[in-house]
């Protein structure tokens, strides 16, 4: 059966704009409420070690203020574990983090970090939090994610989206096939399969045709579109694109 794909809206960059001036506006919680009203199925926020966009109090206010699941993206550090245990989001998505990067540039090294991730994942699950791992769409990390006890994998779509944007048709097609194969491996391993990073209307529509994907997490593109058409309309248009992609598969 083909089901409707969930849209998680990442509101990090509302906080980026707010922090550019140091005040309270625009408020990421207001954006989250508006996103939900427009049809978002969940809200995603990344509390980075350097707090460059979302801050601790934003996470607490999001958890208290929204009616849909909160997906808390974070690095696997003791500080973040403590905050997650306190906030108790619906899910935590573990991502790699480097201070000097502009955004999350690759998947988590689940094989190299297995000894750290295994107890970390167990601690989050013991706190009643679902655990997602942001990884590359390859068999080895996917199987390791399952072995480590993750509930969800989020496949990194950045390389594919970048190739599409750059007009590199062959590379884009190869990356799409890699994502498709990864989604199959993940679903067969019993994992819930999500995707995110760099998705826009076009790429989200195409990827939604792969039935194993259950959720997309999308931020930067939607916030950019919101400047021109407003956040509600950007989310509605994304919703329609994802539904069209999913229905085209039937
Ligand atoms: N998923 C994960 C794990 C991410 O780290 C990000 C970026 O913060 C996203 C999804 C959203 O990516 P984008 O902002 O490019 O839509």
pLDDT in tens, 133-152: 999 999 999 999 999 999 99
Report residue 98's pLDDT band, with 50, 70 and 90 as the boundaries: confident
- Nearest-CA residue for atom 11 of ligand 1: 197
Say if residue 1's pLDDT is above 70. no
Residue range 91-100: average pLDDT?
86
Which residue, among 199, 187, 243, 207, has the nearest Cα to 225 in the 3D structure? 199
Instruction: Report the CATH architecture of 6-94+105-249.
Output: Alpha-Beta Barrel (3.20)
Say if residue 197's pLDDT is above 90. yes
The CA 154 to ligand 1 mean position distance, Å, reads 10
pLDDT number for residue 103: 67
Q: Taking the mean position of all CA atoms in its chain, how far away is CA 37?
A: 19
pLDDT number for residue 247: 94
In the set 46, 53, 156, 194, the catalytic residue is 46
Q: Taking the mean position of all CA atoms in its chain, how far away is CA 224?
A: 17
Atom of ligand 1 nearest to the CA of 194: 1
Ranges of each domain in the chain:
6-94+105-249
The CA 123 to ligand 1 mean position distance, Å, reads 24
Angstrom distance (rounded) from CA 8 to CA 11:
10
CB of residue 160 inside a 6 A radius of ligand 1: no
- Nearest-CA residue for atom 5 of ligand 1: 104
CB of residue 225 inside a 6 A radius of ligand 1: no
- Find out whether 110 and 133 touch, Cβ atoms under 8 Å: yes
User: In this prediction, what percent of the chain has a pLDDT beyond 90?
Assistant: 94
pLDDT number for residue 238: 98
Residue range 49-64: average pLDDT?
97
pLDDT number for residue 106: 84
Mean residue pLDDT of the chain comes to: 96
Say if residue 2's pLDDT is above 90. no
Say if residue 104's pLDDT is above 90. no
**Which of 7, 17, 48, 103 to probe ligand 1 with, by most ligand atoms within 8 A of CB?**
103
Residue range 38-58: average pLDDT?
97
pLDDT number for residue 97: 86
H helix intervals, the chain: 12-21, 28-38, 56-65, 78-87, 114-126, 139-147, 158-165, 169-188, 201-208, 220-229, 231-249
Report residue 100's pLDDT band, with 50, 70 and 90 as the boundaries: low
Atom of ligand 1 nearest to the CA of 222: 16
């Amino acid at each position: 059966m083909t089901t409707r794909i969930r849209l998680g809206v990442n509101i990090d960059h509302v906080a980026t704009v707010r922090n550019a001036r140091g005040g309270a506006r625009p408020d990421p919680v207001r954006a989250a409420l508006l996103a939900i009203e427009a049809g978002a199925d969940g809200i995603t926020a990344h509390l980075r070690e350097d707090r460059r966009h979302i801050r601790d109090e934003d996470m607490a206010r999001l958890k208290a203020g929204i009616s849909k699941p909160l997906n808390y993206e974070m690095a696997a550090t003791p500080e973040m574990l403590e905050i997650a245990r306190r906030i108790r989001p619906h899910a935590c998505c573990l991502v790699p983090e480097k201070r000097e990067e502009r955004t999350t540039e690759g998947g988590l090294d689940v094989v190299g970090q297995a000894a750290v991730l295994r107890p970390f994942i167990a601690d989050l699950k013991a706190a009643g939090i679902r655990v997602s791992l942001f990884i590359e769409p390859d068999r080895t990390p996917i199987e390791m994610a399952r072995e480590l006890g993750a509930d969800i994998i989020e496949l990194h779509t950045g390389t594919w989206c970048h190739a599409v944007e750059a007009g590199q048709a062959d590379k884009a097609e190869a990356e799409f096939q890699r994502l498709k194969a990864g989604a199959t491996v993940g679903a067969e391993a019993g994992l819930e399969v999500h995707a995110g990073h760099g998705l826009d209307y076009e790429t989200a529509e195409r990827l939604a045709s792969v039935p194993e994907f259950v959720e997309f997490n999308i931020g930067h593109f939607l916030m950019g579109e919101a400047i021109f058409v407003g956040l509600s309309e950007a989310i509605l248009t994304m919703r329609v694109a994802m539904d069209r992609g999913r229905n085209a598969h039937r």
